[in-house]
Structure 1
Amino acid sequence: MDTPFSLKNTLLGCATSATQIEGSPTKNSWYDWAERPGKMKDSSSPKNANQHWQRWKEDNRLIGELGLQVYRMSIEWSRVEPAPGQFCRQAINHYREEILDLQKMGVKVLITLHHFSNPSWFESRGGFLQKESPSIFLRYVTYVVEEIGDLVSDYVTLNEPNVYVTLSYFLAQWPPAKHNPGQAVRVMRNLVYCHLTAYRRIHRIREERRFPGRTMVGFAEHLRVFTPAQPKDRPLANGMEYLFQGLTEALYTGRLTLPLGAEAPLGDGRFYDYIGINYYTRIWVHGANTTGQPGKPVNDLGWEIYPEGLGILMRHRYKRFTAPIWITENGVADRDDKLRCRFLYDHLKQIADSGLPVERYYHWSLMDNFEWAEGETSAFGLIGCDFKTQVRTVRRSARFYKEIIQNHGVTQQMIDRYLK
């Protein structure tokens, strides 16, 4: 039975990423990838996307109309550093203007520094396979934080490093499409260094320059529940879970575990100010079959909808790391908008019922966007987008979300209106 609940202690907003919404050609790994025949499900390209680079004022108005309290956006590295060590003042000023506009509406901004895309010059040199990649990334991070640190106190260093490594260097589905476990380990190890050094650098810059606000730095970790279908499947489920989201614990503690290594390169410590969780689905492990549990509801991509998993993962991570929880992504591919109101209710109720310090929830996504290898085929947005005309359409689920924000939770009237 659906019952009302309160979210008075949780700020609600949305998340986007630059490559997925900006359009306006830039030289990065995903723009290059989309030029190669057969790489996209629908032959689309991030060159189009939502044309947010030009239409950001229109999109910010929609953010204001929805009453979002927080907004997660990313900086496109290739725009800010179009050539090694050469930074673009025009690009960083563009981002400053966008951030300031959001802040005038009372929206608190969370900046993601790396969301899957690399500058073409960086990718052509080997990307995060390079031994020098952590120092190259740190150069970029330093520039961005020095330039916007007076406006922004909250940062995601890396979005889903485990997904990036898995799809780019193990399953070969994303650029640079390598299927090499040794390279996957090397990239993950370098990404750990990237986060650890960026975490300390961001704190140092904001402290030395006396920028206002409490500095909050972490990473967005993609987590899934791995459920064995039968007792005999448990070893495989446990192994998959460790390799996918066990190795990322090094980004919290600074200590590598096998196969990454067995040392703490920057010393044991605490390299996080919040626990960032991206959650979408679970994996039902039944022998070689690793999809969702048969007979359960699924989204447009065939991912099982399993709200209980959010509660399970929040409790697990909080027990391990004891910090404020930020749900940095959570959403559903649902073009017809038949599932999203229920999805929002069920997942937000997991937060309300958890008793955990869940400070923020970022719905993925603000609007339909370029969804990586799925192209323009997957609709995750509260707001629909016709990619040809660029017309935005506020969905019914967006109105539900707006009311949740206004009421600091869900009332019985809202249940009767949106869930019956």
Structure 2
Amino acid sequence: MSVLRESAESVSSSFPTGFVWGAATASFQIEGATTVDGRTDSIWDEFCRRPGAVANGDTGEPAADHYRRYAADVELMASLELGAYRFSVAWPRVRPDGGAENEAGLDFYDRLVDRLLEAGIAPWATLYHWDLPQALEVRGGWAARDTAYRFAEYTESVARRLGDRVAGWCTLNEPWCSAFAGYASGRHAPGVTSPPSAVAAVHHLLLGHGLAMERLRTYAPSAPAGITLNLFPVSAAAPTDTSDVDAARRVDGLQNRIFLDPVLRGGYPDDVLADLAPYGFTDHVRDGDLAVISAPIDLLGVNYYRALLVAAPVIRDPGPSEWIGAEGVRFLPSGLPRTEMGWEVQPDGLTDLLLRLHSEYPGVPLYITENGAAYPDEVGPDGTVRDVDRLAYLAVHLRAAHAAIRRGVDLRGYFCWSLLDNLEWAEGYAKRFGLVHVDFATQRRTVKDSARWYAGVISRNGLPAE
């Protein structure tokens, strides 16, 4: 039985028949059990041990203890009417240290997928959500070309085991974060501050995507597959100021087009290559690489949280920057309400982004694979979580998505981020994105009001009247 069905309100915005409604998680953020059944360290396990790297010294233990509680979590998903669940597979479980297959690790995902199917929930698997085996990082990580080939081997292991049952595949989640936050600014694992390593990582991640697609075509040919990118509408603070316009061009190139163009157009943008020339980017691109990277995909996953308003730099940024090639650019506020992460709530940006993809990169079905917000949720005296801000956030963003569909965008699904409160990477356990509240001391789950509202949307395949 559903936790809640909002049957009293009329449907004003119906979504297409067959629209996929789901929620998403990531392995390191929820699984815990970091030393269980043969799992070895990922770069995030190592990063969490560094003093000051993660807020409050938080680590991947216990996370949401999903490794042990997955069956109950699937029951919870079913109660929320979820039609699909997007999870990520932990590379250090499946091929510990990047080496041989680990049957115990694969068995866990076997059990998870089977339980999802029994509950009528479509499994959507992401192969890489940032938990590179630490042993491969020691050997160069994503800055080393060999890691792309190790990723293909790992993909084959997962696809051989799960390929007959997974409904949708994403190779990489947000390679921008892996490359630039991981190897340029160092604010994410592995905590490296080396611009040449960051640009090498960009290309090797994309090469890994292409090689993984080849393995998925062989071992999971019946399910759609693609890549998930964190994309941002980017605009100049002063559209008539050539310096601001150029700053916006650089940021758009480094955030969006550096990934979209090679995957969907077969080549890196010329202006981005020029911006990154000082860091040796093209040294890593070999003959045949772009043909591998640009092999057709069946879906593009879109992670959307906000838009970027960009102004020219005042001075060159002297410290580690994620925006190598556009150092020192200024990101200006628009004066809109903010989430607990400090991100402005900008639903119109989602419509704009989807329309841009539809116009400039046509022909590929789109799925919103992440969208959500962190707020300071607490369980009240009556045992409920009245997260009115999150509920409102989801409502306006779903209306923005529907507006894009009305204008012809081939949007086929929406995955809320996230199912459970979790370890929010370097922010630790303090930032809560979940539809379900997790007490990390007791592991008690409490369904939030936003989850009850979302269950109603799913059951109707549409939004209530405003």
Q: TM-score, normalised by structure 1?
A: 0.92
Does residue 399 of structure 2 align to residue 345 of structure 1? no
Query: In structure 1, what residue type is equivalent to 2:357?
Result: R
Cross-structure match for 1:17: 26
SS at match of 1:393: strand
Structure 1: tracts of 5 or more residues without a match:
208-213, 416-420
Q: CA deviation at 1:227?
A: 2.2
SS at match of 1:280: coil
Asked whether the equivalents of residues 275 and 317 of structure 1 are also in contact (C-alpha less than 8 Å), the reply is: no
Q: CA deviation at 1:291?
A: 4.2
Q: CA deviation at 1:411?
A: 2.3
Distance 1:411 1:36 in 2: 47
Distance 2:312 2:339 in 1: 23
Give CA-to-partner distance per residue, 1:202-234, whole Å, 9 cap, x none. 112234xxxxxx321111100112222213222
SS at match of 1:191: helix
Q: In the TM superposition, what are the counterparts of 1:175-324 in structure 2 within 5 Å?
A: 175-207=189-221, 214-231=222-239, 232=241, 233-249=244-260, 250-257=262-269, 258=273, 259=276, 260-261=281-282, 265-267=289-291, 269-288=294-313, 290-291=330-331, 293-319=333-359, 320-324=361-365
Asked whether the equivalents of residues 196 and 254 of structure 1 are also in contact (C-alpha less than 8 Å), the reply is: no
Give CA-to-partner distance per residue, 1:9-28, whole Å, 9 cap, x none. 32211000000000112411
Distance 2:441 2:169 in 1: 33
Query: In structure 2, what residue type is equivalent to 1:372?
Result: W
Query: In structure 2, what residue type is equivalent to 1:245?
Result: N
Distance 1:243 1:328 in 2: 21
Query: In structure 1, what residue type is equivalent to 2:300?
Result: I
Q: 1:68 to 1:3 in 2, by over 3 A?
A: closer
Distance 2:164 2:11 in 1: 42
Q: CA deviation at 1:321?
A: 3.3
Q: 1:129 to 1:225 in 2, by over 3 A?
A: same
Distance 1:116 1:383 in 2: 23
Asked whether the equivalents of residues 82 and 119 of structure 1 are also in contact (C-alpha less than 8 Å), the reply is: yes
Q: In the TM superposition, what are the counterparts of 1:165-184 in structure 2 within 5 Å?
A: 165-184=179-198
Q: Once structures 1 and 2 are overlaid, which stretch shifts more, 283-292 or 350-359?
A: 283-292
Does residue 95 of structure 2 align to residue 81 of structure 1? yes
Does residue 145 of structure 2 align to residue 131 of structure 1? yes
Distance 2:12 2:448 in 1: 22
Cross-structure match for 1:69: 83
Cross-structure match for 2:439: 386
Distance 1:131 1:295 in 2: 43
Asked whether the equivalents of residues 16 and 365 of structure 1 are also in contact (C-alpha less than 8 Å), the reply is: yes
Q: CA deviation at 1:266?
A: 5.0
Q: CA deviation at 1:3?
A: 8.7
Q: TM-score, normalised by structure 2?
A: 0.83
Q: Once structures 1 and 2 are overlaid, which stretch shifts more, 171-180 or 35-44?
A: 171-180
Query: In structure 2, what residue type is equivalent to 1:5?
Result: S
Q: In the TM superposition, what are the counterparts of 1:358-397 in structure 2 within 5 Å?
A: 358-397=411-450
Distance 1:142 1:321 in 2: 29
Say what the alpha-carbon RMSD is for the aligned residues: 1.9
Asked whether the equivalents of residues 388 and 449 of structure 2 are also in contact (C-alpha less than 8 Å), the reply is: no
Asked whether the equivalents of residues 335 and 380 of structure 1 are also in contact (C-alpha less than 8 Å), the reply is: no
Query: In structure 2, what residue type is equivalent to 1:282?
Result: A
Q: In the TM superposition, what are the counterparts of 1:145-156 in structure 2 within 5 Å?
A: 145-156=159-170
The count of aligned residue pairs is: 406
Structure 2: tracts of 5 or more residues without a match:
1-9, 36-40, 314-328, 378-386
Distance 1:19 1:181 in 2: 26
Does residue 111 of structure 2 align to residue 97 of structure 1? yes
Distance 1:381 1:151 in 2: 26
Asked whether the equivalents of residues 254 and 265 of structure 1 are also in contact (C-alpha less than 8 Å), the reply is: no
Distance 2:83 2:402 in 1: 17
Give CA-to-partner distance per residue, 1:315-339, whole Å, 9 cap, x none. 1112213221110100011123231
Q: CA deviation at 1:157?
A: 0.3
Asked whether the equivalents of residues 11 and 460 of structure 2 are also in contact (C-alpha less than 8 Å), the reply is: no
Give CA-to-partner distance per residue, 1:343-375, whole Å, 9 cap, x none. 111111112222322111000000110010001
Cross-structure match for 1:60: 74
SS at match of 2:132: coil
Give CA-to-partner distance per residue, 1:235-264, whole Å, 9 cap, x none. 101111101111102133443442444765
Distance 2:332 2:61 in 1: 33
SS at match of 1:267: helix
Does residue 188 of structure 2 align to residue 162 of structure 1? no
Asked whether the equivalents of residues 253 and 271 of structure 1 are also in contact (C-alpha less than 8 Å), the reply is: no
Q: CA deviation at 1:153?
A: 4.1
SS at match of 1:49: coil
Query: In structure 2, what residue type is equivalent to 1:391?
Result: R
Asked whether the equivalents of residues 254 and 264 of structure 1 are also in contact (C-alpha less than 8 Å), the reply is: no
Asked whether the equivalents of residues 210 and 295 of structure 2 are also in contact (C-alpha less than 8 Å), the reply is: no
Distance 1:91 1:131 in 2: 26
Q: CA deviation at 1:272?
A: 1.3
Give CA-to-partner distance per residue, 1:71-93, whole Å, 9 cap, x none. 10010000111134311111111
Query: In structure 2, what residue type is equivalent to 1:161?
Result: P
SS at match of 2:153: helix
Give CA-to-partner distance per residue, 1:398-420, whole Å, 9 cap, x none. 110000001111223xx4xxxxx
